[in-house]
Amino acid sequence: MQQHKCIFLDRDGVLNRERGEYTYKPDEFDVLPGVPEALKLLKKNGYLLIVVTNQAGIAKKLYYKEDVLACHNKLQTSCNNIIDAIYFAPGHPVSSESLSRKPDSLMLERAIAKFHIDPSESWMIGDSERDIQAAAKVGVRSVLVGDKYGPNAHVYQAKDLWEAAQLILNS
């Protein structure tokens, strides 16, 4: 069976504006500039696009699964339904054990199995160490985006998703 290459994407801080608190209301869910264009470029170059996001606010009872789904619907609409799948981990380390929650890798493992993904041809784009750690556990290269970490914090770093897409396509 043919294997596919994939871009795994963290959500908050990569696809939508990081607010510093939980983003679960569609009217507060702002897709970052350049995201639709970057996703289109990656898709055009043969990558599956799969979002993997921790959503601990569900376990904390701050919001509901339906709130997350509404935000994901807004994301898909903003990007012309180009994203192939969205996985989210509703657990929280204090209230529930979860291997899905990054830095663990179960969300990525499930996608790899379901979509027949070749980890050696795939990338994770995230804005935190836990994204990078989850990718490493399944043999996926990663790009750290944003300004949370200083220069040289990771082998591959980019300002935003558009710059990360360029880096991946030129690697």
* Tens digits of residue pLDDT in 38-84: 999 999 999 999 999 999 888 888 999 999 999 999 999 999 999 99
* Interatomic CA distance for residues 48 and 43, integer angstroms: 6
The pLDDT value given to residue 161: 98
Cα–Cα distance for residue pair 115/35, rounded to 1 Å: 23
pTM comes to 0.94
**C-alpha 106, offset from chain centre:** 13
Dihedral sign for Cα atoms in the order 98, 104, 110, 111:
positive
* Element spanning 125, H or E: strand 123-126
Helix (H) or strand (E) holding 141: strand 141-145
CATH no. of 10-169 = 3.40.50.1000
| 45, 168 contact by CB (below 8 A) | no
Over the stretch 3-29, which tens digit does the pLDDT of each residue have? 999 999 999 999 999 988 899 999 999
Q: List C-alpha distances in Å: 58 to 39, 95, 110.
A: 27, 11, 21
Catalytic annotation, residues: 10, 12
